[in-house]
């Protein structure tokens, strides 16, 4: 929760936690001998395909990291 002292800090000095939306769902899939992760966006009604390395980065966006 933000406090008054937090709001007095310059916006460039504040942490900006990056987090994946909790409503996204992911499933592992093999295609032509390669493993992919299919991520479903229920709001945009779209699917995205990530390679293992890309999904690992996406998975790290849990709100503990910041810009």
Provide the residue ranges of all domains of the chain, joining segments of one domain with +: 17-66
pLDDT of residue 39: 98
Retrieve residue 35's tokens: 């493993």
- 0.85 exceeded by pTM: no
Q: Report the distance separating Cα 55 and Cα 4, nearest Å.
A: 37
Sign of CA dihedral 47, 52, 53, 58: positive
- The list of the chain residues with pLDDT below 70 reads 1-7, 11, 67
| Rg (the chain; Cα; Å) | 17
Location of structure tokens 């998975």: 59
Determine the pLDDT at residue 12. 72
Q: Which runs of consecutive H residues, i.e. helices, occur in the chain?
A: 4-7, 52-60
């Amino acid at each position: 929760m933000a406090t008054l002292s937090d709001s007095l800090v310059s916006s460039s000095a504040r942490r900006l936690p990056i987090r994946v939306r909790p409503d996204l769902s992911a499933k592992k899939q093999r295609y032509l001998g390669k493993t992919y992760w299919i991520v479903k966006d229920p709001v945009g009604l779209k699917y995205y395909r990530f390679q293992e390395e890309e999904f690992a980065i996406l998975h790290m966006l849990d709100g503990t990291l910041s810009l």
